[in-house]
Amino acid sequence: MLARSLVACLLSFPATIALVGLFLLATSGAPALRLPSLLMIFPIWVGLASASYLIPHTGKAAALLTGVSLAGFAAIALLRYLGVSA
């Protein structure tokens, strides 16, 4: 349970940052959404961490959360490369 919980808490944080960051870039034309999006970090983090327990194996949960993070950061890097910023 300790390894499981470490995966849930630690790996869901970068995944949350990646998802919220991507949303901020995707809605860069709507500055009113910036602060509310940042305030949603905590519930999204808790939601992702809790949902990761639904994946039967710790390794798969870790792989999925890492995958979400990497895909999110890659998309952010691509958008920044294309000149998008929040």
Partner 1 sequence: MKANVVKTFLNVHTWTGLGAGMALFIAFYAGAMTVFFHELEVWDSHAATVAESGSHADAQRLIDRVLQEDPAAAASLRLYPAQPGHPENVARWFERTEGGTFERHDYRLEGDGLNREQDNAHLAGFIYRLHYTAGLPSSFGLYVLGIVCLIYGIALVSGLLVFLPGLFKDLFALRPGKNNKRFWLDTHNIVGVLSLPWHIMFAWSSAVLAIGVFFLAPFQFLVFEDDLQALFGAELGLAAPMEPAGQSAPLVPVAELLRIADAEAPGIEATQLRYSHAGDANATVTIYGDVPVETLDTSAAVTLSATTGAVLNVSHPERASAGATFYNGLIALHFVSFGGFAAKWLYFVLGLAGAYLFYSGNLLWVETRRRRRQPEQPGNTLFLARLNTGVCVGCMAGISAAFLASRALADFADRADYTELAYFGVFLGALGWSFLRSVPNGARDLLYLCAGLTALIPAFDAIFVDMPIWRSLLQARWELFVVDALAIAAAVAFWRMAVAVERRARSGETNSVWAQPQVGSPTTAPSAGASLQNP
The footprint of partner 1 (CB under 8 A) covers: 1, 5, 8-9, 17, 20-21, 24-25, 32-36, 38-39, 41-43, 45-47, 49-50, 53-54, 73, 76, 80, 85-86
Containing 78, the helix (H) or strand (E) segment is helix 58-81
Residue type, 86: A
Residue 20 neighbours by CB under 8 Å, 6+ apart: 37, 38, 40, 41, 44
Containing 9, the helix (H) or strand (E) segment is none
- What is the longest distance spanned by two Cα atoms in the chain? 43
In the complex, least distance from residue 31 CB atom to partner 1, rounded to whole angstroms: 8
In the complex, least distance from residue 17 CB atom to partner 1, rounded to whole angstroms: 5
In the complex, least distance from residue 67 CB atom to partner 1, rounded to whole angstroms: 18
Cβ nearer to partner 1, comparing 67 with 77: 77
